[in-house]
Amino acid sequence: MTKLSVNLNKIAWLRNARGGFNPDILEMASICISSGADGITVHPRSDMRHIEPEDVINLKKFTIQKGVEFNIEGNPFSEAENDYPGFMNLVGDNIPNQCTLVPDKADQLTSDHGWNLTEENSKLQEIVDQLKNLGIRVSLFMDPDLDQISRAKSLGVDRVELFTGPYAHSVVEGTVENIIPTYQESLSHAISIGLEVNAGHDLNLNNLKNFLNLGTIEEVSIGHALISDALVYGLENTVKMYKSLCI
């Protein structure tokens, strides 16, 4: 069964829009876990538009207490800036179960592409080795590209997270049958070379089940769509709805 990790970025974003402590991120995390979520994901950024360093510290303690997984995702080359300690410092101080490395820029609205591993990767190799030495499972955010996935394997990562934005877009456009073979082949290839597979980005109640039917996917990380649906169905019911689709 695929695990569901709930990304709490939008909860933190709503809190930060007003300031103060409402909504309380630990209370929302507790509702997610009690409703069936298998883990919590955060994607801290240097502008701290949503998740802040203190959130990472508190959620690390929370996930240990609840016995669930903690996934920190982001760009490993994001350096310290003002009150932001830098991505690798944040990870090193709050050892997560999994670290998902994403090639996004500081001012990017959201992640929109996977790593291009045809370029020089010595620095990324160093990052992977450092995380592995800390006992952290390492996943790379990747496009559904066979060559790139093979290159990810050569870096010694444990998993790849397939960027599902194009899939979700194709569902809306009615062209999903054109792109499904690409994802199917990428999933099968990753598994055949010894990689486990996660998936994320724009997955929602309308497209999640069909994507998971493609094969063995270890985990999906869902934030924006799930929190948006919670405005209609409530957070507890929404998490249960998503979890019911994680076959």
Number of domains in the chain: 1
Using alpha carbons, list the distances in angstroms from residue 133 to 60, 129, 208: 19, 6, 34
- Give just the sign of the alpha carbon dihedral 81, 87, 89, 93: positive
| Range of the structural domain that residue 145 is part of | 3-245
Give CA–CA dist 61/64, Å, rounded. 5
At residue 120, the pLDDT reads: 63
Give CA–CA dist 36/39, Å, rounded. 9
Domain CATH number, residue 131: 3.20.20.70
Active-site residue list = 43, 73, 201
Give CA–CA dist 122/23, Å, rounded. 41
Q: What confidence tens digit (pLDDT) does each residue in 126-183 have?
A: 999 999 999 999 999 999 999 999 999 999 999 999 999 999 999 999 999 999 999 9
176-192 vs 165-173: helix crossing angle, rounded to 10 = 160
At residue 23, the pLDDT reads: 98
Low-confidence ranges of the chain (pLDDT < 70): 106-112, 120
Full-model pTM: 0.95
Q: Please name the residues in contact with 113: beta carbons below 8 A apart, sequence gap of 6 or more.
A: 103, 143, 163
At residue 104, the pLDDT reads: 83
At residue 107, the pLDDT reads: 67
Within 13 Å and on the Cβ side, how many CA atoms surround 67?
2
At residue 112, the pLDDT reads: 65
Q: Please name the residues in contact with 14: beta carbons below 8 A apart, sequence gap of 6 or more.
A: 23
Maximum CA extent, the chain: 48
At residue 234, the pLDDT reads: 98
CB atoms within 10 A of CB 220: 27
Q: What are phi and psi of 171, to 5 degrees?
A: -65, -45
Give CA–CA dist 224/61, Å, rounded. 24
At residue 100, the pLDDT reads: 98
In a 10 Å sphere around its CB, with 0-12 CB exposed, 13-18 middle and 19+ buried, how is residue 16 labelled?
middle
